[in-house]
A and B are shown apart, each in its own frame.
Chain A
Amino acid sequence: MSLEIVVCVKQVPASTRVRLNAATNTIIREGIEMMLNPFDAYALEAALRIKTSMGGRVTVISMGIPSAAEILRFALGLGADRAVLLSDKRFAGADTLATAYSLAAAVRKLGTWDLIFCGRQAVDGDTAQVGPSLAQKLGIPHLTAVSRLEFLSPQRILCEKMTDEGYQEVAMELPALLTVVKEINTPRFLSLEGYLETLGAVVEIWGADDLDLDPSRIGYDGSATWVMSTAAAERCKNGKEIDGSPQEVAAKILETLTQQGWQSLTSEDRHE
C-alpha cells in the first residue's frame, strides 16, 4: 500500500535582522534572503524516508509570497513529488488561525492523505500553533515534538514525543498530523541531480478562489489575533571588560559576582 504524505513548509528570513511592516506589525518578507524553516527540513526528511521505506507520494505545501516557490522547488529537488503554493494577496497578514484554516482547505483539495508532517515551529513566529490547529480543522489526531517514528502496521504508528521531562511513547492510527523536532533525523543534502531536475519543475500556485473556503476567515481580516506592537529587544550594554592575567581575571569575575549577590554553590547545594 502506498502512503499519501503531506509536508507543510514555511519560508522564513535567513537572518534575525528583519524589518517590520509598521501598519500590520508583521515581517516584511520581500527583498530579504529567505530560507526553508529549519524544523521543516526535518519534517520533509521524515516524509522522504517513509516514502523510501514504505512507498508513497510526498506533497509539499506552503502559504506565502510568490518567491516562496523557491523552497518548494528545493523540496522537489530533495525528492518530493508535488509542490503547491498558496499565494494570493488575500492570504496576506494571516495569523496562525487563518493560516491553518487556509492550509486545511488546501489539504482537503488534495483529496486523500495519510500523514501530515510539520516542523515543530517556524523560527520567525515561534508559535508552534499551525500544526495542531491544522489537525483540529481536518478533524484528525496530532502529536507534537515527535523525535522518533516507526510503523506498527500500514495504518498505525508508534511515536516518541519529546517532553520537558523526557519522552512519551504514543501509538496512533492514521490519518494523523505530526510536528517533528530536530532529533528525529539528519536531513539529506540536495544532490546535484536533484537540483538540476528542479530547474524546470512546476510549483502549482493556488489562490483563494481555487479553494473551497470562507473568504472572511482568511488573511489579515480573517485573523482572530493582531499584533498590536513589536519592538526589538533592547540590548543591554552594561558589560564590563576585565583585563589581566587569567588568574587576575578569574579573581575579579568572582569578586564582581559576589558583590552582586551571587553565592558559590557548596557541594550540599548541588545535591539538592
Chain B
Amino acid sequence: MRLQIVTQKDEILPYLRDESNWTGSAEGISFPQSEDEIREALLFHAQRHTPITVQGARTGITGGAVPHGGQVINLSRCNRALGMAWDEGKQRFLLTVQPGMLFSQVQKGLADKAFNTEGWSRESLKVYRRFCSEGGWSFTADITETSASIGGMVSTNASGAKSYLYGPMRAHVEGVRVLLADGRALALRRGEQFARAGNFRLRLEDDTYIEGKLPTYRMPAVKNASGYYIKPDMDLLDLFIGSEGTLGIVAEITLALSKTPARAWGLLAFFSETKRALQYVQALKLLGGAQKPAAIEYFDRACLDMIRREQMEAHSHKGLPLLPAAEGVYVEFHQPAQVDVDARALQMRVMLQNAGADPAETWLAVTPQDLEKLISFRHAVPESINRIIAERKREDPTLTKLGTDMAVPDDRLDWVLRLYTESLDKLGLEGLKFGHIGDNHLHVNILPTDGQDYLRGKALFQEWARQIINAGGTVSAEHGIGKLKIAQLSEMYGARAIAEMRALKRCFDPLGALNPGTMFTVEENA
C-alpha cells in the first residue's frame, strides 16, 4: 500500500500510551491524512486480520487510545477543516472537519475567522465568506483539555464545565462519516436514520444495510459516557457518538456552531462550609430557561489550599490574586445584553447572602480578560494535581493519579459529597474534590503517597462505584470507559447488557478488529 507503516520500535514508542499513563503494545503505526488513506489502512489490516487501535490526540485518561497489540491508525494528520455550510432551518453555520483537528484549532479558527480553506468547494467558500463578514460564532462544546481532537471528543461524547448549559459533544454534532472495519462507509446526518422499537437498519454508502437489535438496558438519567448511548427510537447518529471507536472510525465530523453570546461573565464565590456552598449550588440549579448558568463548578478547600500554596511558595498562577482558605463555587453566565448582566448581578447578591457568602469578597469577571483568569484557575486545579503526582512518581514510579468521573441524580448530590468526604477522612487518604457540580458530577482525585495508599484508593473507588450505581448514577460521566473502567461498566449494567453491547459491536465489526480491549475485555474467540 502507498500509506507508510512505521515499524521502528523507538518511533512507535510514544504512541503506545495516552494521558492515562497506561502503556500498550503495537507492531506498527500509520498516519493517514485523508478518508481514502484511512480506508487504505483499514483494508490492508483487514486482509491480514490485524487488530487496530484508533488514536486522536491521545489526551484521553481511560486508555482508549492505548493499543492492545496489532496496528495503530493515528489520525493526528487528518487535521484539516473541510468546509462550511449554512443550516437554513436552524439559522446557523455548520463546520465540517477531519477527526484529527484539535479542539483548540477549531476554537482559534472560529475566533480569528481564519481557517485554511484549501480544497474547499465553491459553495463552502461562499458560506465561509459570509461567516467571515458576520459577528462571532462559537463551537460551544467545552472541554478542559483543549488539545483533544474533535474525533476523540466524538468518540467519548466529551464534555466539560459549560456542558451544563450547552450539553455534551452529542449536542453539537450534526453529522459524521464513518468507515467500518471492512472499509465500507456510511454518512449519518442528524434526523435522517432512526431505530424503531429497539431495532435498527442502517443504510451504508454502497446501498448495503446493517441491521440489528439495540441493547435493552436503560441509561441512568444523569450525564453519562458509559457504554453505548441507547434509546429504543434513537437517532442512529447518536450510536456512534460515545462509542469509543469500537464500531467504526469517524472520518469526518460536521459541527453545529452557535452565535457567540454578547456577554460572558463569571463569579467565583467563597464559602466557609460545604453546607453553605451546596445551598448556593442548589439555588443556582433552580435558575432555568434564559437564566440558566453556562457552568457551575465546585472546588473543595483542599483545591484552594493547593493552589494557594503554589501561589505563595512557587509564585505561580500569576495574575490570580491570593486565594482565601475556603471552598469555592464558580458560576458562568452567557447573556445577550449588558442590562441582563446588571439584573442578574443583583439577583446573585441575594443568593450569595442567603448562602452566607460575602458579595464584597466574591470575585467577579465581567471583562474577557478577567474571565480568562478565572477559567485558567479552573484549569489549574487538575494541572497542579498532575504536577504533584509527577513529583511523587519520581520517588515511586508505580504511583499514578486516581481520579473519578462519576455522576449522580440531582437528589443524591448531598449524599455523594458526604460519602466522598467521610470515606477519605476515614481512610486518611489525601483527596481533592472538584468539578461539574451543576451536573452532580465531581471529580475526586486521590493523591497516593505510597503503593499502599494507591491500592486503598483503588479499592475505595470500586466501593464508591458500587454505591453510586445503586443510587442511580454512572461510573463515567465524561471520560468514557476505555480500558480502565471495563469492570465498572460491567458492574453498572450487568452481564446481559455487556453481551448485548458486544452483539451490537459484532453487527458493525464482526471480527472485533476495532479498538480491542476498549469498553469490553478482548473476546477469546474474536
Could you list which residues of chain A lie within 8 angstroms of chain B, going by C-beta atoms?
A: 14, 33, 35-36, 38, 74, 186-196, 199, 243, 245-247
The 25 listed contacts between A and B (C-beta, < 8 Å) are A14-B368, A33-B368, A186-B318, A186-B320, A186-B322, A187-B321, A189-B268, A189-B364, A189-B365, A190-B364, A190-B365, A191-B362, A192-B267, A192-B349, A192-B362, A192-B364, A193-B358, A193-B359, A193-B360, A194-B360, A196-B346, A196-B349, A245-B11, A246-B11, A247-B11
Q: Give the residue of B322, B346, B366, B369 whose beta carbon is less than 8 angstroms from that of A14.
A: B369
Chain B contacts of A191 at CB under 8 A? 359-364
Q: Give the residue of A35, A192, A243 whose beta carbon is less than 8 angstroms from that of B369.
A: A35
Chain B contacts of A246 at CB under 8 A? 11, 14
Whether B370 is near chain A, meaning CB under 8 Å from some CB there, is: yes
Chain B contacts of A199 at CB under 8 A? 342
Whether B291 is near chain A, meaning CB under 8 Å from some CB there, is: no
Closest-CB distance, B267 to chain A (whole angstroms): 6
Whether B319 is near chain A, meaning CB under 8 Å from some CB there, is: yes
Chain A contacts of B363 at CB under 8 A? 189-191
Chain A contacts of B318 at CB under 8 A? 186
- Contact present for A189 and B321 (CB under 8 Å): yes
List the 3 shortest-distance A-B pairs measured between CB atoms, nearest first.
Answer: A189-B363, A193-B360, A193-B359
Q: Which residue of A lies closest to B112 (CB)?
A: A17
- Contact present for A186 and B319 (CB under 8 Å): yes
Whether B481 is near chain A, meaning CB under 8 Å from some CB there, is: no
Q: Give the residue of B10, B77, B352 whose beta carbon is less than 8 angstroms from that of A192.
A: B352
Q: Which residue of A lies closest to B320 (CB)?
A: A186
- Given the known A-B contacts A35-B367, A38-B369, A186-B321, are A192 and B14 also in contact in the complex, defined by CB atoms under 8 Å? no
- Contact present for B345 and A195 (CB under 8 Å): yes
Whether B390 is near chain A, meaning CB under 8 Å from some CB there, is: no
Closest-CB distance, A6 to chain B (whole angstroms): 23
- Contact present for A196 and B321 (CB under 8 Å): no
Closest-CB distance, A51 to chain B (whole angstroms): 16
Chain A contacts of B367 at CB under 8 A? 14, 35-36, 74
> In the complex, A247→B12 CA distance in Å?
12
- Contact present for A192 and B359 (CB under 8 Å): yes
| Interface of chain A: mostly helix, strand, loop or mixed | mixed
Whether B6 is near chain A, meaning CB under 8 Å from some CB there, is: yes
Apart from A36-B367, A189-B364, A246-B11, 18 more pairs, CB < 8 Å: A35-B367, A35-B369, A74-B367, A187-B321, A188-B321, A189-B321, A189-B365, A189-B374, A191-B363, A191-B364, A194-B360, A194-B364, A195-B345, A195-B364, A196-B346, A245-B11, A246-B14, A247-B10
Chain A contacts of B360 at CB under 8 A? 191-194
- Contact present for B362 and A196 (CB under 8 Å): no
> In the complex, A245→B5 CA distance in Å?
12
Chain B contacts of A193 at CB under 8 A? 349, 358-360, 362
> In the complex, A35→B14 CA distance in Å?
44
> In the complex, A96→B359 CA distance in Å?
40
Chain B contacts of A247 at CB under 8 A? 10-11
> In the complex, A74→B369 CA distance in Å?
13
Which B residues, 343 to 361, have Cβ-Cβ distances below 8 Å to chain A? 345-346, 348-349, 352, 358-361
Chain A contacts of B366 at CB under 8 A? 190, 195
> In the complex, A124→B368 CA distance in Å?
18
Which B residues, 1 to 44, have Cβ-Cβ distances below 8 Å to chain A? 6, 10-11, 14
Closest-CB distance, B339 to chain A (whole angstroms): 11
Which interface residue of A14, A33, A193 has the most chain B CB atoms within 10 A?
Answer: A193
- Contact present for B359 and A190 (CB under 8 Å): no
Interface string of B360-388 (1 = CB under 8 A from A): 11111111111001100000000000000
Q: Which residue of A lies closest to B370 (CB)?
A: A189
> In the complex, A193→B357 CA distance in Å?
11
> In the complex, A74→B319 CA distance in Å?
18
> In the complex, A219→B10 CA distance in Å?
67
> In the complex, A74→B268 CA distance in Å?
18
Closest-CB distance, B316 to chain A (whole angstroms): 12
> In the complex, A195→B10 CA distance in Å?
57
Which B residues, 260 to 285, have Cβ-Cβ distances below 8 Å to chain A? 267-269
Which B residues, 323 to 351, have Cβ-Cβ distances below 8 Å to chain A? 342, 345-346, 348-349
Closest-CB distance, A79 to chain B (whole angstroms): 10
Chain B contacts of A187 at CB under 8 A? 321
> In the complex, A208→B270 CA distance in Å?
46
> In the complex, A192→B280 CA distance in Å?
15
Which B residues, 108 to 160, have Cβ-Cβ distances below 8 Å to chain A? none
Chain B contacts of A243 at CB under 8 A? 77
> In the complex, A35→B366 CA distance in Å?
11
Chain A contacts of B346 at CB under 8 A? 196
Chain B contacts of A188 at CB under 8 A? 321
Which interface residue of A187, A189, A247 has the most chain B CB atoms within 10 A?
Answer: A189
